[in-house]
Amino acid sequence: MDKKPIIGLIGGTGKMGQWLANFFKSQGVTVLIAGRKTRLSIENCAKRADIVIICVPIAVASQVISQIAPLVKRDSLLTDITSLKVEPLRAMEKAKSGTLGMHPLFGPTPGELAGKTIVFCRQKDNRYVDFLKKLFQKSGIEVIETDPKTHDKTVAYIQALTHAINLLLSKSLTVNRKLPTKIRTPIFSLQSLVMGRVLEQDLSLLADIQLYNSFYLPVLKNFVANAQKLLQTVAGKDKNSFIKMFVNEQETFPKFSNFAKKELPINFPVKTSIKGISPKVKIAYLGPEGTYSHETALNIFPKNRLTTYPTVYDAFNSVATANTELAVVPAENSIGGTVAETLDYLAQFNLYVVGSCQLSVHHYLVSKEKSLKDIQIVKSHPQAIAQCRQW
């Protein structure tokens, strides 16, 4: 394709529409944006664009598609980015243009594109389908192809049910607000991060995902039935029934265990780039000298003045009181989990995460003994023990 197509975003003033607009512009593509309050009408946008992308809420997507489809040129492409695919593609069936259903499996947040995924549900192919696929793949976004029913059945579990579980968890925690916040387990810390991601989303979007997926209600009913069965088992203090209830699920644990061991992709920057920091900026790090936080600070800020602090709190406080301007503190390790102190102080201090990086950790077992069998006691920092516990 010699000439790049014009892309029109219907409803492109929303967060995901703006993300797409910035993405396509970064690829050198001309973008038109039309919404309820834009000078360009959605009708004229549909007529002018070579690729028309519907970026409206699930509840009105089919209606907007039916309104726009007759206006799209025969050799153009009509597509959408809603979280469901069966109904939007049904509304596209009568379009004379090419049609495609898309679902980005990520939100409109900054960060690297590598590791992100978008779903394609093909319906009526033309040259612009492959253009979009190649454009996404070139930027590092993985394109997964499936049919609309398989897509909606899958997201009933991975999206709708996951949202429901976390919303209900937040509801339970809200009832017990006086629980001590510093008593937490690594699993709860991780779950809290997921719950927070769900709670920060638009409640109208969450409601649409719950209400408009025709495959979801049986999934939710099955979950409620299992919860009721668990309630009866716990009330009856029936340990054997509890074990029997989950023994089959535990057999699948190795699959999830292997996934959990994978290093998470690091997205940065969050608000600004750490690469452009002036050498004059004073940097705090969790000490003492020789820690991994120290090594990280040296790698990122080799020309800056570095000051060591004995605790995570002290590092945070140094920035809050303007003794330093940035702090390098540990956030997570792939085996030991999140660092609870860092999460606590992010909530306590009025400070922001401005970047992140990844450091590979290698530990040595140092001893005068020449054989492992002669070693009876190992002494170590708790973090190192946690990182090596599977060894």
Contact in structure between 51 and 79 (CB atoms under 8 Å) = yes
* Rounded Cα–Cα distance for residues 219 and 231 (Å): 18
Q: What pLDDT does residue 77 have?
A: 98
Q: Find the helix or strand (DSSP H, E) in which 326 lies.
A: strand 326-328
Contact in structure between 320 and 349 (CB atoms under 8 Å) = yes
Q: What pLDDT does residue 187 have?
A: 79
Q: Which one, of 88, 71, 59, 95, lies nearest residue 8 by Cα?
A: 71
Q: Which one, of 229, 211, 232, lies nearest residue 220 by Cα?
A: 211
CA distances (Å), origin 329, targets 48, 167, 343: 51, 30, 11
Q: What pLDDT does residue 389 have?
A: 66
User: Is 182 buried (19+), middle (13-18) or exposed (0-12) by CB count in 10 A?
Assistant: exposed
* Rounded Cα–Cα distance for residues 276 and 130 (Å): 37
* Rounded Cα–Cα distance for residues 49 and 62 (Å): 19
Q: What is the largest CA-CA distance in the chain?
A: 80
Q: What pLDDT does residue 120 have?
A: 99
User: Is 381 buried (19+), middle (13-18) or exposed (0-12) by CB count in 10 A?
Assistant: exposed
Q: What pLDDT does residue 362 have?
A: 79
Contact in structure between 140 and 114 (CB atoms under 8 Å) = yes
* Rounded Cα–Cα distance for residues 319 and 325 (Å): 5
Q: Which residues of the chain have pLDDT under 70?
A: 1-2, 110-112, 181, 253-276, 333-338, 382-383, 386, 389-391
Q: What pLDDT does residue 364 have?
A: 82
For 127-182, write each residue's pLDDT tens digit: 999 999 999 999 999 999 999 999 999 999 999 999 999 999 999 988 877 777 67
Q: What pLDDT does residue 268 have?
A: 38
Contact in structure between 121 and 101 (CB atoms under 8 Å) = yes
Cα-Cα-Cα-Cα torsion 128, 58, 140, 148, nearest 10 degrees, comes to: -70
